[in-house]
């Protein structure tokens, strides 16, 4: 038996024979000089929405934290373990990224769980339930909206959660300070898995719009 799943080994072989072979100098320089990504992406764990794939990103371009439903918890320096906050601190304070992009996506399982508050926990510890409660009470409000279909509620909360995470980003004092100083930009994006449409959030209004009309020409 191999030490890693066969599909990973086979994919690794392709990487080495293809991309790494073409970009060897880039990888070596990145190893030697360290990373200097301009952008941090906070994305979902979902296997269908890898930010490097969607943004066609090469080595060294994106610093990426991925958790269920691409959430940012509010600033809470209580001495507990906070993986996402640690990643933010490293990206902003050590790497001095110039952009943070919160990227959500359609058909998100975490958002779906947040919209089903009374459902059975996945395990007694209910880590998902607790994690998605970052979105309370907005999730409850959306869930209670009988005027929208379940599909509309799902999309609505996917976008509300992006706005919530961006609001939570601003509770980190150094993020707020750097944004005010014009050194850091906070963006929202939403990816439709089926059509590959990418919607970007307007920072003034919070509305999501498709930023690249000609790409759509290509797509569809």
H/E segment holding residue 134: none
Question: Which of 19, 48, 107, 185 is labelled catalytic?
Answer: 48
What tokens does 165 get? 């995470």
Q: Is residue 171 part of the contact set for its own copies (CB under 8 A)?
A: no
Binding of residue 169 to its own copies (CB under 8 A): no
Is residue 205 part of the contact set for its own copies (CB under 8 A)? Answer: yes
Residue 96 binds to its own copies (criterion: CB under 8 A): no
Do 36 and 60 form a contact (C-beta atoms < 8 A)? yes
Q: Is 183 in the site for its own copies (CB under 8 A)?
A: no
Q: Is residue 190 part of the contact set for its own copies (CB under 8 A)?
A: no
Which residue lies nearer to its own copies by CB, 104 or 106? 106
CA quadruple 170, 117, 125, 159: dihedral, nearest 10 = -30
Q: How far apart are CA 172 and CA 181, in angstroms?
A: 14
Cβ(46)–Cβ(109) below 8 Å? yes
Q: Which of 22, 66, 104, 170 binds its own copies (CB under 8 A)?
A: 66
Which residue out of 28, 32, 82, 108 is catalytically annotated? 108
CB of 183 to its own copies, least distance (A): 14
Query: Is 82 among the residues known to form the active site?
Result: no
Other beta carbons within 10 Å of 54: 18
Residues classed as catalytic: 44, 46, 48, 105, 108
């Amino acid at each position: 038996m191999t030490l890693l799943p066969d599909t990973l080994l086979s994919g690794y072989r392709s990487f080495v024979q293809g991309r790494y072979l073409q970009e060897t100098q880039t990888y070596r320089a990145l190893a030697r000089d360290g990373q200097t990504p301009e952008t941090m992406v906070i994305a979902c764990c979902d296997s269908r929405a890898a930010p490097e794939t969607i943004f066609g990103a090469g080595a060294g371009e994106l610093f990426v934290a991925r958790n269920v439903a691409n959430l940012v918890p509010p600033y809470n320096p209580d001495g507990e373990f906070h993986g996402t906050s640690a990643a933010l601190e490293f990206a902003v304070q050590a790497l001095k990224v110039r952009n943070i992009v919160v990227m959500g996506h359609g058909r998100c399982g975490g958002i779906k769980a947040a919209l089903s508050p009374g459902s059975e926990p996945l395990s007694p510890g209910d880590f998902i339930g607790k994690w998605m409660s970052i979105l309370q009470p907005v999730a409850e409000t959306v869930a209670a909206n009988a005027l929208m279909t379940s599909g509309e509620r799902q999309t609505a909360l996917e976008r509300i959660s992006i706005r919530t995470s961006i609001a939570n980003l601003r509770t980190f004092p150094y993020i707020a300070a750097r944004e005010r100083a014009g050194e850091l930009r906070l963006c929202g994006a939403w990816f439709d898995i089926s059509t590959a449409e990418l919607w970007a959030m307007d920072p003034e209004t919070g509305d999501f719009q498709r930023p690249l009309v000609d790409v759509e020409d290509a797509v569809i």
